[in-house]
Amino acid sequence: MSLQEAEKRALWLREKIVYNSRLYYENDAPEISDYEYDMMFRELQDIEEEFPELKTPDSPTVRVGGKALDRFEKYAHTVRMGSLTDVFSFDELRDFTDRMSAELGADVEYSVEPKIDGLSVSLIYRDGLFVKGATRGDGEIGEDVTENLKTIKSIPLKLKEALPYLCVRGEVYMPKRVFHELNAVREAAGQPLFANPRNAAAGSLRQLDPKVAASRRLEILVFNLQEGELYSDGRTAQFHTESLDRLDELGFTTVSHRIAVVGYDAVSKHIDYLGEHRNELPFDMDGAVVKVNSLAGRMTVGEGTSTPKWAVAYKYPPEEKDTKIVSIDIQVGRTGVLTPTANLDPVRLAGTTVSRATLHNAQFISERDIRIGDTVVVRKAGEIIPEIIRSVPEKRDGSEQPFLMPDICPSCGGRVVRDECGEGAAMRCVNTASPAQTARSITHFASKGAMNIDGLGPQVVELLLENGKIKDIADLYTLRVEDIEDLERMGKKSAENLVNAIEVSKSRGLERLLFALGIRQVGEVAAEEIAGKMRSLDKLYSATFEDFSSIKDIGTITATALVEFFADPTTRALCDRLAFLGVKTEAVGEERGELFAGLTFVLTGTLPTMTRDEASALIKQNGGKVSGSVSKKTSYVVAGEEAGSKLTKAKELGVKIIDEAALLEMMK
């Protein structure tokens, strides 16, 4: 490869790595597998090693991970939370152990541990009490997620000894069992599934509401002492495994299945053992960590630019197997998107039997030339979600059949169109009354963030549909107690409660109704903004693309989706019927002004005459934003009595502090 070719390739790799790193670390929504990411990273490392002049100060190879999100307070780590150098073969592992032997002598002892696939955090204790917890972030600056970490039962809030100061590092993870239960609930509710336990754990730990984090039942395994005193008598640990044993004594749950062994042969043997048994472990693991056990030896070997020289992470190659595509089904989602799904000859993969795998869309099928009857290579993305890597054309016998996406919806016979609203190659059924969409649409309509109909969960929705009591969203508002009290698992009291909850939901207003209707690209915040400007369903009917685009934070994709939705005769008929049945189709909040446009407020303490919710509503009605945490981007902190840490933080950052009276004065 010439220098010019290498420069062009390195530039492309950096852009791809940065993009996918952002999806992985900050959005918890990866588009590629860990293995593909690792291979791109390795290729960039190789290029920079061969052409040192191409290595830039901002190259991903000298960085650790994703930056902290703005919605949490930033936290500066006192000890850098670095990453590890990855090795992908036993030859590379032997190179590492040979280097350690050259520097430390022949009989180097190593700690070999599972590499848990979760979210790395630091935990800080003062006088034996848990006082602070933060994500790794970019290794230097992380996110303060203390309150969410306190919901994890395996994190001790008080140590067994009141040591003056201790900082440890651990991996927060979601147990496999909990992950499968969570995805089952999300699937029933028509919500997107988490790709793997790591993404589920990261998303859960970053919830602004600690109650949501608590409901996800996260766990942690501590794997390193960062700094501080382990013993009250001044003693220090000499070995890494000794420090972990001591952390066990203090009340931590430390990384399991670890072992201290001498030499390459013993290290590779335990790595094989972990690989053979990893599907039996309660957590997801994507490799094995090999560390020099002697803490003094680590000091001798030293640190690299972004990784320690005394440790590596052995990454297991993803297990791949051949199987055949028996047939291809079409699944119709809540928003009408048609997703082809392959039915496979059952094959054992990563500890479970795989018989189905998504084919995503027509473009995916075309690019890989996948046909019905083909032999295909399958693996599990993140060791969880089955995915088809490629077809094997050389194994074809001529009986294979090309697959084409249908022109009509297999569920309702309605028209299918190419989606031009941000979903790329997706095909979508335009009939919102399609049976396949109905159950998920009604469940979403009744969900907490939408019309909040208490007691109308997925099972009750299915019960009503199966018994012909409802056919669409509007039918909910025709239900009577006598219609449903005799249904299985219902009874008179449950029927009365459900009918009452449906009646109460009529007054939610246009803000909640817009979100409940499941318009593509329109979430809760966007629905509030749209309702705040348009004010009524009639105005939405006549609104143009330009009208929608002029609303704050509404881009061209969302504006297009809104125009398409309200131009469709079927959805208009549904909305008209909802209005006829008494559902409020006007905004309940006051019309939004522009007084506080571009300003961010934080509320803290008890205000004299208003609740925080009332003050928050006033700020939003005037075009302002309300945040739950103080940062340099905060415009004002509105402080009442018994204001706590937010007030202290505002003073430290020099953020302007006002009281309720000053806020009301600003509104005049």
308 shares its domain with 202: yes
How confident is the model at residue 596, as a pLDDT?
86
Domain harbouring 52, CATH code: 1.10.287.610
Domain annotation covers residue 525:
yes
Residue 323 has pLDDT above 90, yes or no: yes
Domain annotation covers residue 585:
no
- pLDDT tens-place string over residues 249-284: 998 999 989 999 999 999 999 999 998 888 788 888
Domain annotation covers residue 87:
yes
Domain annotation covers residue 68:
no
Global pTM value: 0.53
Residue 241 has pLDDT above 70, yes or no: yes
36 shares its domain with 99: no
Residue identified by tokens 């942690």 is: 220
210 shares its domain with 110: yes
- pLDDT tens-place string over residues 553-575: 788 888 888 998 899 888 899 99
Q: Which residues contact 5 (CB under 8 A, 6 or more apart)?
A: none
Q: How many CB atoms lie within 10 A of CB 467?
A: 14
Decide: 645 and 663 in contact? Cβ < 8 Å.
Answer: no
Residue 663 has pLDDT above 60, yes or no: yes
The one-character DSSP state at 78 is: S
Domain harbouring 332, CATH code: 2.40.50.140
Half-sphere exposure of 471 (CA within 13 A, CB side): 3
94 shares its domain with 201: yes
Integer CA distances (angstroms), 371 to 346, 380, 530, 633, in order: 17, 20, 44, 53
Domain annotation covers residue 272:
yes
- Which structure tokens are listed for 300? 């001798």
- Which structure tokens are listed for 410? 């297999």
Specify the DSSP element, H or E, that contains 448: none
Domain harbouring 571, CATH code: 1.10.150.20
Q: How many CB atoms lie within 10 A of CB 105?
A: 9
332 shares its domain with 297: no
Domains held by the chain: number: 6
Domain annotation covers residue 53:
yes
- Give catalytic status of residue 651 as yes or no: no
How confident is the model at residue 17, as a pLDDT?
84
- CA distance linking residue 636 with residue 641, whole number of Å: 16
185 shares its domain with 147: yes
Residue 36 domain boundaries:
3-62
- pLDDT tens-place string over residues 487-510: 987 888 989 999 999 999 999 999
Q: How confident is the model at residue 543 (pLDDT cuts 50, 70, 90)?
A: very high
Integer CA distances (angstroms), 523 to 203, 543, 549, 553, 556, in order: 17, 19, 16, 11, 15
- CA distance linking residue 332 with residue 62, whole number of Å: 44
209 shares its domain with 346: no
User: Residue 632 in 3-state DSSP?
Assistant: coil
Q: How confident is the model at residue 192 (pLDDT cuts 50, 70, 90)?
A: low
- The residue type found at 393 is P
Q: How many CB atoms lie within 10 A of CB 367?
A: 11
Integer CA distances (angstroms), 538 to 315, 338, 579, in order: 58, 31, 11
Backbone torsions φ then ψ of 174, nearest 5 degrees: -105, 120
How confident is the model at residue 505, as a pLDDT?
94
How confident is the model at residue 349, as a pLDDT?
74
Q: Pick the closest to residue 115 from 303, 359, 312 (CA basis).
A: 312
8 shares its domain with 122: no
301 shares its domain with 200: yes
Please identify which of the residues 16, 67, 74, 115 carries the catalytic annotation: 115
- pLDDT tens-place string over residues 73-128: 888 898 888 888 889 889 999 999 999 999 998 899 999 999 998 889 999 999 99
- Tell me, rounded to whole angstroms, the distance of Cα 611 from its chain centroid: 32
How confident is the model at residue 191, as a pLDDT?
64
Query: What is the residue-averaged pLDDT of the chain?
Result: 85
Residue identified by tokens 């190789």 is: 46
Domain boundary among 551, 580, 609: 580
Residue 50 has pLDDT above 50, yes or no: yes
Domain annotation covers residue 26:
yes
Residue 224 has pLDDT above 90, yes or no: yes
How confident is the model at residue 247, as a pLDDT?
94
Mean pLDDT of 213-239: 88
- CA distance linking residue 658 with residue 646, whole number of Å: 13
User: Residue 245 in 3-state DSSP?
Assistant: helix
Domain boundary among 16, 33, 62: 62
- pLDDT tens-place string over residues 278-308: 878 888 888 999 999 999 999 999 988 778 9
Q: How many CB atoms lie within 10 A of CB 106?
A: 8
265 shares its domain with 134: yes
Crossing angle between the packed helical segments 176-188 and 197-205, to the nearest 10 degrees = 80
Domain annotation covers residue 465:
yes
Domain boundary among 402, 423, 453: 402
Task: Find residue 416's DSSP bridge partners.
Answer: 429
333 shares its domain with 302: no
Residue 592 has pLDDT above 70, yes or no: no
DSSP secondary structure string for all residues of 247-296: HHHHT--BPSS-EEEEHHHHHHHHHHHHHHHGGGSSS-EEEEEEEESBHH
Mean pLDDT of 137-145: 85
Q: How confident is the model at residue 334 (pLDDT cuts 50, 70, 90)?
A: low
How confident is the model at residue 269, as a pLDDT?
95
- CA distance linking residue 663 with residue 596, whole number of Å: 11
Least confident of 239-253, 342-356, 426-440, 455-469: 426-440
> Is the backbone of residue 139 left (phi > 0), alpha (psi -120 to 50) or beta?
left
- CA distance linking residue 637 with residue 626, whole number of Å: 10
- pLDDT tens-place string over residues 422-462: 444 678 776 666 666 788 889 889 988 899 998 898 889 98
How confident is the model at residue 24, as a pLDDT?
66
Domain harbouring 648, CATH code: 3.40.50.10190
477 shares its domain with 610: no
- The residue type found at 165 is Y
